[in-house]
Structures are given as structure tokens and as C-alpha cells.
Chains A and B, each alone.
Chain A
Amino acid sequence: MTPRKSLVAIVASALAALSPSWASAQQEIKVGGIFDLTGVTSDVGKPFAQGVQDAVVWVNENGGINGKKIKLIGADYAYKIDQARALYKKLVNDDKVVMIQGWGTGDTEALKDFVGQDKVPYFSASFSAPLTVPSKFPYNFFVAPTYSDQLRSWMDWVKQDYAKSGGKGNPKVAFMYGDNAYGKSPIAAGKKYGGVIGVDVVDEAVLPPNFQDATSQLLTMKQKGVQYAYINVTTTGVSLVLRDAKKLGMDVKFGSNPYGFSESLVAVAGPLAEGVTGVMPHVPYGTPVPGMKNVMAMHDKLRAGEKGDAMYVRGYTYVMVWSEALKRADKAGQLNGPGVKAAAETLADFSTGGLSQSVTYTPTDHRPTMTTSIYQVQGGKLVKIGDYIMPRTAEWFGL
């Protein structure tokens, strides 16, 4: 063998040795993850991210995406918008991910134009109604009824409950919310809906960021004779409102949204949470539904000693939905942004094993479900009191 030939032989054998690892690298599907593990929403962002990670492990251990493994390239953006944007650019341009699992209002709002331009499906847990309109935001997805439909459903419950308790006339309702995109999201829809079904929205109380006291807002509500109030902030804020309402001896029935109402509200507010109602698009951890078995098995395996909650279930549910979209896109040979979007839009009544309502996306409507489950704290437990179904009308689309 001449030196040159032997060199060729060495290179060839080296390539042959490397090729299996190349092949397996090609068998990977890269999915980006933008999480909040250390920022202002990390109390709920962390269990959500854990749910996503553990569900990806489950998918990979159980056949992957038609044999291909998901590679989740996750990172913490600490709820800082400039970092979310930098991270997004890294994931899309350098890592070349197929889609991204995002987190909350902060990153979703800052990236909504870019994901459309770059054609990167963006699943996030901000349930803002305008994101469900594909003609405006074709690549945004979430797995829950919109914030607006959630509030409408809660108001339906108010109407029922008021009639049941023998109230006369219309119930008097107040909305309490933070002065930010997440807090204000359903308010306009709620006010309009009140006029439709006969619920009087008599007061709106704006809660400042990181407030420690809601006495003055509650006193105004007391003067106006408010009977029901929807607290559209996160768990800590809801607990503070409940504390101050108790202090003032108020007899108001409170309700809250999926980030204010969960297992952690019971843990933080204790007996004050008794009787509070709330929207839960994803079931409490441990609910006996078919899908829960895997969730609990993964949690016990990977998070032994930690407490599972609905946020963990939420993260897990998201992966169930988009991994199905990936499977369908892969089968169609279209493992790319537009392919995954198109595959997601073929999901019709896709069951998550009871972890959430069944999910439907169409090319013209990204409202995943119109059904909102309302829960109530009864004896320190989260008890489901009903499902409320909104009509899929054009009038409320995106509002």
C-alpha cells in the first residue's frame, strides 16, 4: 500500500466508524425550550418546565417520534425579554430547531411576529385569545381554553350560583387584575359578556405589581356591594387578596385563573382558600384519569420527593400534544416548521387521556377547546364543579 492509499484507507475507516453516530444524530428531532426557572414567574414556570422535560423523556423511552428521539434544547430566560429574544435567535439560527416550547406572556408576546416570519411553531402557556387567530399568528399554539373563554365560563358559574342561592336581580361582580398584558387579557371580553348574560360588572380593581396589600381596593368593592370577584393575578396575589378580604370580614365569593388557582393556592392560603373557585384547564396532580398513570410514574421516577401539581401536568400535556404533531409531520415526511404546523392543524378531538380537554386545531382556528373546567376548594381539596362550554362563534374569535 502506498502512503497515500493507506491514508485514504485510514480516513475511509474512520468515516465508517463515525457514520453510525452521524446516522443517530440525523435521527434526532431538535425542539427548543424557553423556560422561566429563575425569573418572576419561576414559581409556576419551574414545575411546568419539569413536566415538559419529563414528558420528553417518556416519549423518547417509548418509541420516540416514529423511532426518532426528541432532543430538547432547553434554557432559562429568567422572564427577561431581551434574553428570550437572544435565546430564540440561538435556537432558530444556530441550533435549527423544528419548533419551540415556550412559556408565558413575556416571551410569547415578544416573539409572536418572529415565529410567523421564521415559520417556527411556538407552543406556549399564555392563553391570550388573539393568539388563536391563525391569520394573524399562524405559528402560535396553546393547550387550554382562552383566558377570555375561561372568564366567560366562570361568569356562567356565577350566574348559576347566584340563582341557586336565591339571589334577586343580577349578581354584582368585580374584576381584580394586574396592569400588564396577562392581567388585562380577558377583562374586555368579560365586561362585554356580563351585559349579554346579565351579570353586572360593578367594579374593576387594578392591583399594582408585587402588591402587599389590597385593602383599599377591597373597601371600594365593599362599598359597591360586590358579591363575586375574579382575581386575575398569580397565586401569591390571590392569597393576599383572600387574606385582606378576611380581615375586612367581606362576604365575597372569589374566583381565579389557571395561574392563580392550583394546588399551591391551597398550600399558601390554607383555610382562606376554602370555597374559592377557579379555572383549571389541566387537572390537579393525581386526578384519577387514564393519562395520569404515566405522569405520576415519570414524576416518581425523576422527581422523587417533590410534590407534583397542575403546572407539572400542564407541561406534560403540552408535550403529548406537540409530540403527536411531530409524529404526524414525520409520517408525512415534513419535519419542518410549516410541516409541524400543518400536522398540528390536523389534530381533531385529540385526547390527552383526560389530563385536559380534547384538543382541536384547524388551519383557520387555533382555539384548542371551548370547554372550561371550574374547580372549587372544598375541605382543602380541589373538587371539579362543572364544565362550561362556550359556542365556537365568529363573534368571539380572538377576543
Chain B
Amino acid sequence: MRCGDFRQSYAEDMSLFDSPLPRVLLAGLLAFLLVLPQFSTTYWLDVLNRIFIAIIAAAGLNVVTGYTGLISLGTAAFLAVGAFTTAALAGKAGLPFVVVIPLSGLLTAMIGLVFGIPSLRLKGLYLAVATLAAHYIVEFTVSHWDHMTGGVNGISIPAAQFAGIVLKDDRGIYYLIYPIMVGLLFFTKNLFRTKTGKAFVAIRDQDISAEVMGVDVFRYKLLSFAISSFLIGVAGSLLAYQARIISPENFPITLAIDYLGMVIIGGLGSIVGSIFGAIFITLLPEMLRLATDALGNQWPGLMVIVAPIKTGVFGLVVILFLIFEPDGMAARWNHIKAYWKLYPFSY
């Protein structure tokens, strides 16, 4: 049993796993998720796919908001850029997904760079308002660039294809989304073991100190925006492939707020937190809907009464979370891990 830290070198201090057990458990989880679609209904596959996409985007938002401390309301806009780029590249140009997804991410990263420029001068709420402007600029562009985006009516996206493989249904698209998510999460996790990631955290904790220490604050802020937007753009691209029809109505400002909710509830500055937050915010309305619909279909007269309850319950759960676990679900996760690490001698 391990009852303390036994790190003896910097390499050990930086390691992802401090004991063999988590490594085994993680491998088990990844293997389980690999075979899960064989046992899942289409509906739950759809929910799983949406959770995975949300995890990628939430991790992206966490890079800029959680790790670098720059609040962004542009998530929905960046998702839209990724999704509509995919619609153009896959639909109009007929490119395969191995090209489309990275290109969608890169283009979104470039747009993110542009909208990240105000972060040189602006912080906190002021930056939030600047990114809000980004949201409306993108929303206006996608609703009016009719021949490219289909305008307000939206646009259809062909099934993801590459070298003769066509991912038509939810099961196929699952095997596209899942490895990309795992890969990007490892990338993000590792990012914060590098100089770049450490620079982000330094800027978040105290930007003046960071500058004094020799961190080029503006450059790293822009880089943070670019990496974040890349991740969100890839999520948007996968969203387009999964949804198959997208319109500007898919990307309202409330979506950006949902994503902020994910990283706050999950835990700011934590990759595990992004995962928990994305699962929680995606699953909660589904669960509440299943519950209220079950009630409503049993007693049809009650449906219009019980359906609004879920909106209230959603708000209540979020508030309770913030009161009782202000550091997010990631903090609770660490408590649980610590408890079992020392079991049965915890106190």
C-alpha cells in the first residue's frame, strides 16, 4: 500500500501516473469504451457521441479559460466555424475526413488567433464582452454567407468518408470521434507538462509576474487562444459529421454559456474536470427529460406541467454544485481518489 509521495526525481514528479493501478484502470476503461457501441442502442450512442464532442470542446475552453485565465464566450462561434468549414470542405469540395478535420481545426485556430488579439489589453469581463462580439460576428457571417453556409436554412453534410470507408451511422462515427477525443485529451494533458503549458498557468496566476520572469505574455495568450480554438474547431467538425445537418440555430450564445458551465462545474484548470463537466451538462438534461417524459407519457395531462420542472431542477443542481463543491467535480474526484489510496486508514 502506498501511503505517501515517494517521488525522487523531477521526471517522477512530472509523471502522469503515480502508481501502476491507475494505468491499468485507464487501459480497462479505454478498452471498455472501444467495445461499448456493440451493446448500446442508437439513442445512447448518440448521447455518447455528443458527450465525447463536448469533452473535446470543453477541454479546449479549459485551455484558454481554466489554464490561461482568459474568459471566453466564443465557444459556440468557434464550434460554428469548425462545423461550417467541414460542411464546405466535405460537402462542396468532397474531401475525406482525414483532411477535413485537421483543416477545420486549423482554420478555427486562425480565427481564434484574430479574436484573441483583444486579450493583449483586456482581461476578465472586458475580454468576455470582446469574445461575445466575436460570437455575433461569426453568427452574422454564417447566417448571411448563403452560398457557402446555406444561410439561415442550414446545410447538409455528407457522411464522413476516407479511402472507401463511409461512416454512415452513429456506430461508425463513434469510432471516428472516440480515438480523436482520446488523442486530443492526451495532447492537452501533456501540454501542461511543457514550457508552453507552464507559461499559460503563469499568466493565469499573475500576468505581471509572468512577464517579469520572461514569459512573452501576448505571444502565449495568442497561442492559448489558437490551441483552444483548434480543439473547439475539431469538436465542431465532428459535430457537423455527427449531426449531418447544421444551421446557425445550432450555435446560439446559450451554447457558449453551457460550455462555461461545463468547465466551471467540472473544475477550472483540470482536464479530468472538463471530462466530468461535459458528461454532467450533457447527461443531466437527457436524464431529466427521460424522467419527466416517463411521467408525462404515463399521465398525458401532466406532461406540460412536469416538462418545465427539468429546467428548474437543472438550475438547482448547478447552484448546489457551486455551493457544495466550488472547486468543481475534479476536486471531489481527487478527494475520492485520496480516500481510496489510504483506505482503510484514511481519516
* Residue ranges of A at the interface with B (Cβ–Cβ < 8 Å): 37-38, 46, 49-50, 53, 56-57, 72-76, 78, 81-83, 85-87, 89-90, 92-94, 106, 109-114, 179-181, 183-184, 302-303
Contact = CB atoms under 8 A, between A and B. Distances in A.
B153 A38 contact: no
B249 A83 contact: no
Interface stretch (B24-32, B289-297, B339-347): B289-297
A49 B303 contact: yes
Contacts of A78: 285, 311
Question: What's the dominant secondary structure at chain A's contact region?
Answer: helix
Given A93-B43, A109-B245, 5 more contacts: A50-B304, A81-B249, A89-B42, A93-B42, A109-B154
Contact of A53 (B50, B170, B247, B300): B300
Contact of B286 (A86, A111, A179): A86
Nearest to B170: A89
B159 to A, nearest CB: 11
B249 A106 contact: yes
Given A85-B46, A89-B42, A302-B301, A109 B243 contact: no
Contacts of A114: 244-245
Contacts of B310: 38, 76
B303 A53 contact: yes
Contact of B43 (A49, A56, A89): A89
A181 B247 contact: yes
A82 B303 contact: no
Interface in B243-284: 243-245, 247-250
A74 B293 contact: yes
A112 B250 CA distance: 15
A74 B245 contact: no
Contacts of B249: 81, 106, 109, 180-181
B308 interface: yes
Interface string B140-155: 0001000000011110
B292 to A, nearest CB: 7
Question: What's the dominant secondary structure at chain B's contact region?
Answer: helix
A279 to B, nearest CB: 21
Interface size range on B against A: 35 or more
Interface of B: 41-43, 46-47, 50, 143, 151-154, 156, 170, 243-245, 247-250, 285-286, 289, 292-293, 296-297, 300-301, 303-304, 307-308, 310-311
Contact of B243 (A72, A82, A180): A82
B304 A82 contact: no
B133 to A, nearest CB: 15
Nearest to A79: B249
B303 A37 contact: yes
A85 B286 CA distance: 12
A136 B292 CA distance: 36
B43 A86 contact: yes
A46 B301 CA distance: 12
A271 B280 CA distance: 48
Contact of A110 (B47, B143, B245): B245
B172 to A, nearest CB: 14
A109 B247 contact: yes
B143 A46 contact: no
A20 B89 CA distance: 56
B326 to A, nearest CB: 28
B154 A94 contact: no
B308 A109 contact: no
A4 B143 CA distance: 71
B50 A82 contact: yes
A113 B245 contact: yes
Nearest to A56: B300
A72 B250 contact: no
- List the 8 closest pairs (A to B, CB-CB), nearest first: A90-B43, A93-B42, A37-B307, A76-B307, A75-B293, A181-B152, A53-B300, A89-B46
B287 to A, nearest CB: 12
Contacts of A82: 50, 243, 250
B289 A75 contact: yes
A86 B156 CA distance: 17
Contact of A86 (B46, B153, B292): B46
B293 A76 contact: yes
A49 B151 CA distance: 29
Contacts of B152: 179-181, 183-184
B286 to A, nearest CB: 7
Contacts of A90: 41-43, 46
A74 B286 contact: no
Given A179-B143, A180-B152, A110 B311 contact: no
14 contacts: A37-B304, A50-B304, A75-B296, A81-B243, A81-B249, A83-B289, A85-B243, A86-B43, A86-B47, A89-B43, A89-B46, A109-B154, A112-B245, A183-B152
Contacts of A81: 243, 247, 249-250
Contacts of A183: 152
Q: For A49, A53, A78, A89, which residue has the most chain B Cβ atoms within 10 angstroms?
A: A89
A129 to B, nearest CB: 12
B143 to A, nearest CB: 6
B256 to A, nearest CB: 14
A180 B143 CA distance: 8
A57 B170 CA distance: 35
Contacts of A179: 143, 152
A37 B308 contact: yes
Contact of B300 (A72, A85, A89): A72
Contacts of B303: 37, 49, 53, 74, 76
Nearest to B157: A113
Contacts of A111: 245
Contacts of A180: 143, 152, 248-249
Given A76-B293, A89-B170, A181 B153 contact: yes
Nearest to A45: B304
B289 A94 contact: no
Contacts of B243: 81-82, 85, 110
Contacts of B292: 76
Given A93-B42, A181-B153, A113 B300 contact: no
